Amino acid sequence: MSRFTQKVVVVTGAGSGIGEAAAKRFAEEGASVVLVGRTREKLEKTLAGLAAGDHLVAACDVSDADQVKQLSETVQDKYGRVDVLVNNAGVIVQGRIHEVELDDWKTLMKTDLDGVFHGVHYFMPALLRSKGNVVNISSVSGLGGDWGMSIYNAAKGAITNFTRALAMDYGADGVRVNAICPGFTFTDLTEDMKDNPELLERFYDRIPLRRAGEADDIARAIVFIASEDAAYITGVNLPVDGGITASNGQPKQA
């Protein structure tokens, strides 16, 4: 398919995991992809794996408003338009609230939440002109609570409702805003869990499909919801989680 031919797609956190997989999918469908992340070397590696196109590597820390403002200007100077913004960059902090430090809270919020705000704030004028759309990467942790993940839950919960509110604010302008909410997914952040079968089994007991997600599972959902195939979908927080959110929390029956 070529659903994104002559479209410009900005993907943050594109150096690995879900962002890298999404960038590859968009490029395969004809998009010019702007690869955004803090580490140029990782972005260059992603670029090497993309289908041929007029792509751009942009080292940028999304937690820094000035850097994101400059990024938006650079992208519009080069392409003259932006059609899709994928706010994917994020970090994870674990621990109960009395076990984490104030700096942990600030660091996570600056990337996971402020980074989304910065992207939408600075790219929205271009998206209004193109009648484009925003895809925020939230989490099933933004739809319900997790043990020992309160800071992460707070940020993702905010993104969930931010997505709904943005959809209401900009729908009449032709701009759609949705979020993808991954469940347990193998990325660089969870790679070490592959060597812990006992821990994986505990996770799989909660997942009806009995496996972890792969980055490409999430990427396919991102590309779908950003495409014209989803033209009548906005304000949705879509779980892509193997069925975790279908459960009422009861243990698997024998």
At 48-57, the pLDDT tens digits run: 999 999 999 9
Q: What is the pLDDT of residue 103?
A: 94
Q: How many CB atoms are closer than 10 A to CB 138?
A: 29
| CATH code of 182's domain | 3.40.50.720
Q: What is the mean pLDDT of residues 153-167?
A: 96
- Average pLDDT of the chain is 92
Length of the chain: 254
Q: Note whether residue 97 is domain-resident.
A: yes
Determine, yes or no, domain membership for 247. no
Burial label for 202, CB within 10 Å (0-12, 13-18, 19+), is exposed
pLDDT range class, residue 182, cuts 50, 70, 90: very high
- Which stretch of 99-103, 166-170, 235-239 has the lowest confidence by average pLDDT? 99-103
How many whole angstroms from its chain centre is CA 253? 33
Please say if the pLDDT value at position 22 is more than 90: yes
Residue 252 lies in a domain: no
Res 197: pLDDT: 72
For the cut 70, the answer to whether the pLDDT of residue 249 exceeds it is: no
**Structural domains counted in the chain:** 1
Does 249 reside within a domain?
no
Q: Is residue 51 included in any domain, yes or no?
A: yes
Question: What is the arithmetic mean of pLDDT over 187-210?
Answer: 73
The answer to whether 27 and 53 are in contact (CB under 8 A) is: yes
Q: For 194, which DSSP code? A: G
CA contacts within 13 A on the Cβ side of 216: 3
Residue at 164 is within a domain: yes
Q: Taking each helix axis as running N to C, give the angle between helix 115-130 and helix 65-79, from 0 to 180 degrees, rounded to the nearest 10.
A: 20
Range of the domain at 212: 8-239
Q: What is the mean pLDDT of residues 62-82?
A: 98
Given 122, 152, 170, 204, the catalytic residue: 152
Q: Over 80: is that where the pLDDT of 85 sits?
A: yes
Q: What is the DSSP letter of 109?
A: I
Q: How much is the pLDDT for 10?
A: 98
Tell me if 171 is assigned to some domain: yes
Could you give the CA distance from residue 241 to residue 61 in angstroms, rounded to a whole number? 28
Residue 28 inside a domain? The answer is yes
Give the mean model confidence (pLDDT) for residues 235-240: 97
Local structure of 241: helix, strand or coil:
coil
Catalytic annotation present for 232? no
